[in-house]
Amino acid sequence: PSLHKQRHEFVINFVKENKPQKVVDLGCCECQLLKKLKFHRQMRLLVGVDINGAQVKKHMHGLAPLPSDYLQPREDELRVELYQGSVTQKDARLRGFDLVTSIELIEHLRLSGLSCFSEVVFGYMTPLTVIISTPNSEFNSLLPGLKGFRHRDHKFEWTRAEFKSWALKVCQDYGYTVEFTGVGAAPPGQQENIGFCSQIGVFHPSQVDFNRKFLSLTCLWFNYFFLLFYQL
């Protein structure tokens, strides 16, 4: 499959495994990812945001309910919302989601916009998971005929080390942890030196882990005392 498809497949696999119910796709472009996500029956709220409202409008029709949706209605309805707006600006409608995806978006932002993006996504929207994909510039030497960036609107393309240092700083500033992966493997023997064609960071709040551990420990103590008193 094309690299574009592989990036979406990565998100779909995450969704299959983790079953998020509220998802925002930032830079949703032609709504292709949203059109795939709407078939996951646990989904309750799907939101797309893009600065280019005309483009979204042109492609949004595939998000409307299908006849089969009426024949086999869901127990809980799925809402789909599309907004024209910039990921550099806070929007109260985008807070408290299970998953935020940002697929090949950040490289379209200037560095000032990128720091607003970090503040908006990790400091304000505070989702339970963020998936960010961006080109890995180390792979560019393998792309035939490429001079400069992969797209003329890209403001930067990062090496793995550059992406890692940005991601770790974001984690430090906003209390998240990150795991790195990617799609589009390099030819055999070159993976280690070059990495994936698209690099991906999967972020989770570190606080949640702490809270969960704290809660389960409290429950354990509570049960312990309950049993103790019950026996007395």
| Residue 108 binds ligand SAM, judged by CB under 6 A | yes
Sign of CA dihedral 141, 144, 146, 152: negative
Question: Which residue of 33, 63, 120, 186 would you call a contact of ligand SAM, by CB under 6 A?
Answer: 33
Q: Where are the alpha helices (DSSP H) in the chain?
A: 3-18, 32-37, 53-59, 67-71, 111-118, 160-174, 191-194, 206-231
Least distance to ligand SAM from the beta carbon of 130, Å?
A: 14
Residues contacting 188, CB < 8 A, separation 6+: none
Per CB under 6 A, the segment of 57-65, 80-88, 165-173, 177-185 that binds ligand SAM is 80-88
| Residue 157 binds ligand SAM, judged by CB under 6 A | no
Q: Are strands 198-205 and 176-183 parallel, antiparallel or unpaired?
A: antiparallel
Least distance to ligand SAM from the beta carbon of 202, Å?
A: 16
| Residue 104 binds ligand SAM, judged by CB under 6 A | yes
From the list 92, 26, 82, the residue with the least C-alpha distance to 54 is 82
| Residue 208 binds ligand SAM, judged by CB under 6 A | no
DSSP state for residue 158 in the 8-state scheme = B
Q: Given the complex with ligand SAM, which of 25 and 98 has the nearer CB atom?
A: 25
From the list 185, 183, 181, the residue with the least C-alpha distance to 202 is 181
| Residue 103 binds ligand SAM, judged by CB under 6 A | yes
Residue with tokens 């999967």: 202
Per CB under 6 A, the segment of 27-35, 38-46, 176-184, 210-218 that binds ligand SAM is 27-35
In the complex, which residues of this chain contact ligand SAM (CB under 6 A)? 7, 27, 29, 32-33, 49-52, 55, 86-88, 103-105, 108-109
